[in-house]
Structure 1
Amino acid sequence: MAQANNVRCPVDRDETTTTKQCVPRRARRGIFLLIALVVIAVSTMAAYSFTDLMLAYDESTILSGRKTQADMLVESGTELARLMLAQSPTGREEMGGVDNNPAMFQAINVVPDLDPQRRGNVTVIAPSIDAMGEFSGIRYGLQNESARLNLNVLTVIEENYTVGDEALQAAADLGLADTDQAVVSDNIARELLMSLPNMTEDVADSILDWLDEDDEQRDFGAEYDYYNALPTPYGPKNGPLDSVEELLLVRGVTPELLFGADTNRNGIIDPIEQTYITTGDQSTASLGWSAFLTVYSREGNKTADGADRVDVNAEDLEQLQADLTDVLGNEDWASFIVAYRVAGQSGATASTGGDSDAAEAVSQASSGQAWSSSVLSTLDLSEGKVEVSQLLDLVGATVVVGEGNDQAVYQSPFANEPLSMATYMPYLMGLLTSKDYDSMPGRINLNECPAELIYGLPILEEETALALVEARGEQSESENRRFETWPLVEGILTLEQMRQLLPLVTAGGDVFRAQVVGYFEGANQSARVEVVIDATTINPDIVYWRSLSHLGRGFDVGTLGVRGEDGMQTLSIAE
């Protein structure tokens, strides 16, 4: 029976009977096991592939989530900066200030976790400037945009800031200026641009041609004809720039000149970037022009407490006297300013080529009487005939009361003398204004700008500019350092020099720039943006936002800062 099961007997299709010869059949007992093994192997590989794919998707989801978290960390850091800038300057100082405040801006933990890979922080960082005005390292805070040269005010400066030949000659006669400056006084905007490293006259003039409203080509510039002849023609903007990067459209401006060797745009020259420097200049030149230029700088017309300054050119003189007495707390000062509006003469007019009556009035100042608030009652306050062009007009000024034999000359209580200035200048510059504006663009911050911009200021000789740079590098707690007139108070500049520079310089500024980095301490995910915030309004506005995440984190975690498991900040190596 068993043997019969192993025999196969073929059937003859033509016969109804079976052949007697049968063919033996081979045994196939393991075929199902082999099939089972193949099925198991295929299933295993399919399960492995599916599991591996799911793990990849899971990791991708985690990475995507952390990238989103990093973006939100940046949002948190930006809002932190806005919160700080929403305070008055006095309020900011009480919170540690915006210049270098690690407690407020370094390694602020937003996503707490015991696992460093999931612990998310945000750091607000900006380039630092050393005592000699050179870029050097980083700090944790915001950069005052007024520390840069505002391109959009250059043509305005050209039109409105004029140094007449007579004034220049008078200043030169007094040893206050170089007579060669009379030659460049018509090209002041070009001279400001020429202070930038590696700038040339043809590029400077091309930039100004791009900005000005006319189509007249400057000596070394380029106008419509040049741009229209390019393979891809376009025309000059003939108006203000929207961003500094727009300079790349100007003839002669290259990415190397604009951005320098700072390929990751972190504001410093990293060791790997140092190898790209081919100019042979110092590291400041290697950062490129973008580190020196802006189109956003503005300053508000507020006091340190956030109140409106008193406009000394107000029409209602009686109300002006009351306002001045209230904020200054000194009747002699307040009454003299009002009297100046009626019958005053600036102390600087005679030395800069004023009329003969003005010169005579100023010459009598040394022998004039001391001012008293009681003199104001002899003047008609119905109309202010004299306008204060700038607050320094009041320094060393005179007021002439009466006519003929009854004429009397009174000296300004704001004497042209450094010791006296140290007392009254914070009141003049901090509480008063001669212009009725909400905000003003473009002045350069003397305290925070790179040294190159100071050397490019007009009227100053190189030795004077160097003395100014060295003086600002010295530590000083003087209240006068809060105002742009501190070089005058400290005897570095004369009154006439300070008057010439005042339209160009400031010690304030209410627009700030920073890089905000969101990162995880133990993971590579990060986000980085460069942001510019305008604090001239009640709610600070973001006027510029650019993602730099594609250029990497920009800083190592040790520089950005880490936190231990107990949440206490671990100081970074940068400190």
Structure 2
Amino acid sequence: MNRFSRSSSLVGRRTGSALLVVLVLVLLLTFGVYGFTERMIAEKAAANAHGNAARSRACADSGVALALALVDEGTIAPSAPPPVYHEPAALQGVLVAPSSDPLGNGRFTVFAPVEGDPTGSLLRFGLIDESGKLDVNGLLNISVRGEELSETQQRTLLLGVPGMTDELADSILDYVDDDDDAREFGAEYDTYASLDPPRSPRNGPIDSVEELMLVQGVTPALLYGEDANRNGLLDPGENDGDATYPPDNADGLLDVGWTAYLTVHGGEPNLNADGEAKINLNDGVLTDLFDTLEETFDTDTAQFIVAYRIAGPIDPENSSDSLDPNADIDDLVEEGFDEDGNPTTPTQTEQEQVDAMAGALAGLIGGADEELTVTRAGMDLSGGATTDLGSFFDLIDREVEIEVDGELTVLQSPFSSATMTDELPGLLEQMTVFDTELIRGRVNVNQARMGALLGVPGMTESLAESIDAARMIGASGEALPDMHARRLTPFWLVAEGLTDLPTLRRLDPFLTCRGGFFRVRSVGFVEGGGPAVRIEAVIDGTAYPARVVEMRDLSDLGRGVPRSLLFSP
């Protein structure tokens, strides 16, 4: 082989090697570009997901902000309910973050369960009135005519809650009361000190319902029942026995747990729309009470109410001034009631002061020994009041016998049950029988579940069942907000034939139709999918402006609502 042939062979080999190297380099570069592109796509997806999550969070926060505005609307005009019970147009799929791409639109939905639905399948778009639950912190502050409930009565209020026992009820009350004295079935410091690790009872108001799990004997199963994702609705995993968490009995009904019956945020403002104190019908200074009522209403109204306070009704046996006839006589007498259950004359410290001043004034003016008689509308007010009102309903359809201008006269009530449905909201906007700015412990009869109603003093099981059957739910399971407008006061129980007026008089000190604290469950989401954010907050609407007193992110428990119900495309 000559030199030329050998050179050609070498060139051929070198050319083939270079081509191979180039191909390898191209392949490596291709893989590099592919990997880079894949990482960039992943980074873009992550950035989009982060952006959607931030947008969903902002939308969920917007749901809470709207709820604050709606509660404020009710604070301004309490006689006309704000749209907080069921308002899909205002609270379902609300667009708050529009995008050039419809799939990027940010929305929120505010939802709540329908309380009277045992299947847990009915949904409404509104807020949850916390007064529909028993206020654990407020149970110790409930009073009727200034008298606090006994420990037995406080325990009884809790015993209607499913799974509650005497021991658990007393232990809860011991945990929040301010002493170290154990109740009959309760647990106090010594019990908690013996635990491993030891701890102490709160001995004061608790901050959240979840803190009840620190109470002796309380378990997560009692607190949450089968509602693992805490949405108040029956989800597939909550109706499949032991197949998935949580364990359930697969009976098609939702055990909602104590969180649906108990709260730590309760109370309703005892102020009028202007933020001023209402007229306290139990005012001890009868002259001031008469003058204020006459100025606000008229002479007939002032005369009848003050006459009622002085003489009591002609038919006291039907009044809420009568306590439980089964109570011990010693207890009745101790609490200011005679052996027939009727009120005895209370000590009127303020009235006594007025009388003393009147007598002193009489001596200064005329030098006489006789007391100065204080009169209004022909009635002698000098003797003071003998009867306090436990409820405004004590005045409806009543008669009072009293001396007017020296003659025994029967006065007819200006308040008739025939007109109360329309008139009561306005009347209760001006008058009250409570002397505190915040009324604690009353239960919202419109939204309370059976377990919260059964503990109300004077409530029977049959009446509680009738209330439960009369929920604001249509034949197809839809919520009925129009009915809510007709149920602004507990008088609807009489107007709709569920009970009679004498029974309502006994129940009313413990019932309301509207509280001041609301729970909002807001889900923020983006139409195109991605992570949703679920926020649960409690709003204090007892003062203006309303404020958030509790908030938590429940996104790790899921949306809580099927995506198909979050909004209507």
Same fold (TM over 0.5): yes
Using structure 1 for the length normalisation, give the TM-score: 0.76
The aligned residue for residue 172 of structure 1 is: none
Q: Secondary structure at the match of 1:104?
A: helix
- Report the AA paired with residue 345 of structure 1: G
User: Tell me, which stretches of 5 or more residues in structure 1 are unaligned?
Assistant: 8-23, 164-184, 363-374, 564-575
C-alpha distance in 1, partners of 2:311/2:426? 20
- Equivalent position to 2:94, from 108, 122, 147: 108
Q: Deviations over 1:111-157 (max 9, x none)?
A: 22364431211111111134x88855110111111111111122334
C-alpha distance in 1, partners of 2:343/2:528? 76
- Report the AA paired with residue 450 of structure 2: A
Q: How does 1:221-370 map to 2 (within 5 A)?
A: 221-276=186-241, 278=248, 283-284=253-254, 286-303=255-272, 309-313=278-282, 320-321=289-290, 323-325=292-294, 327-328=296-297, 330-340=298-308, 343-346=310-313, 352=322, 354=337
- Flag the 1:93–1:270 CA change in 2: closer, same or farther, 3 A: farther
C-alpha distance in 2, partners of 1:57/1:479? 52
C-alpha distance in 2, partners of 1:147/1:92? 17
The aligned residue for residue 536 of structure 1 is: 542
C-alpha distance in 1, partners of 2:412/2:280? 19
Residue 541 of structure 1 and its aligned partner are, at CA, apart by: 0.3
The aligned residue for residue 80 of structure 1 is: 66
> Would you say how many aligned residue pairs link Structure 1 and Structure 2?
507
Q: Secondary structure at the match of 1:502?
A: helix
The aligned residue for residue 505 of structure 1 is: 511
Residue 102 of structure 1 and its aligned partner are, at CA, apart by: 0.7
- Equivalent position to 2:165, from 185, 197, 200: 200
Work out whether residues 162 and 186 of structure 1, in 8 Å CA contact, stay in contact via their aligned partners in 2: no
Deviates more, 1:293-302 or 1:87-96: 87-96
- Flag the 1:95–1:211 CA change in 2: closer, same or farther, 3 A: closer
- Equivalent position to 1:190, from 150, 155, 159: 155
Work out whether residues 538 and 548 of structure 2, in 8 Å CA contact, stay in contact via their aligned partners in 1: yes
Residue 70 of structure 1 and its aligned partner are, at CA, apart by: 0.5
In our comparison, the structure showing a higher alpha carbon Rg is 1
Residue 479 of structure 1 and its aligned partner are, at CA, apart by: 7.6
- Equivalent position to 1:520, from 507, 511, 526: 526
Residue 289 of structure 1 and its aligned partner are, at CA, apart by: 0.8
- Flag the 1:501–1:90 CA change in 2: closer, same or farther, 3 A: same
Residue 463 of structure 1 and its aligned partner are, at CA, apart by: 2.7
- Flag the 1:93–1:339 CA change in 2: closer, same or farther, 3 A: closer
The aligned residue for residue 141 of structure 1 is: 126
The aligned residue for residue 444 of structure 2 is: 445
Work out whether residues 317 and 338 of structure 1, in 8 Å CA contact, stay in contact via their aligned partners in 2: yes
The aligned residue for residue 400 of structure 2 is: 398
- Flag the 1:96–1:133 CA change in 2: closer, same or farther, 3 A: farther
Deviates more, 1:550-559 or 1:107-116: 107-116
The aligned residue for residue 573 of structure 1 is: none
Work out whether residues 209 and 262 of structure 2, in 8 Å CA contact, stay in contact via their aligned partners in 1: yes
Work out whether residues 348 and 393 of structure 1, in 8 Å CA contact, stay in contact via their aligned partners in 2: no
- Flag the 1:402–1:355 CA change in 2: closer, same or farther, 3 A: farther
C-alpha distance in 2, partners of 1:469/1:414? 32
Residue 73 of structure 1 and its aligned partner are, at CA, apart by: 0.4
The aligned residue for residue 106 of structure 2 is: 120
User: Tell me, which stretches of 5 or more residues in structure 2 are unaligned?
Assistant: 242-246, 323-331, 346-374, 474-479
C-alpha distance in 1, partners of 2:497/2:282? 28
- Report the AA paired with residue 134 of structure 2: L
- Flag the 1:192–1:44 CA change in 2: closer, same or farther, 3 A: same
Residue 244 of structure 1 and its aligned partner are, at CA, apart by: 0.2
Q: Secondary structure at the match of 1:88?
A: helix
Q: Secondary structure at the match of 2:55?
A: helix
C-alpha distance in 1, partners of 2:132/2:200? 31
- Equivalent position to 1:67, from 53, 67, 70: 53
C-alpha distance in 2, partners of 1:360/1:521? 64
- Flag the 1:282–1:150 CA change in 2: closer, same or farther, 3 A: farther
Using structure 2 for the length normalisation, give the TM-score: 0.77
Q: Secondary structure at the match of 2:161?
A: coil
C-alpha distance in 1, partners of 2:232/2:178? 33
- Flag the 1:49–1:325 CA change in 2: closer, same or farther, 3 A: same
- Report the AA paired with residue 96 of structure 2: V
C-alpha distance in 1, partners of 2:60/2:342? 60
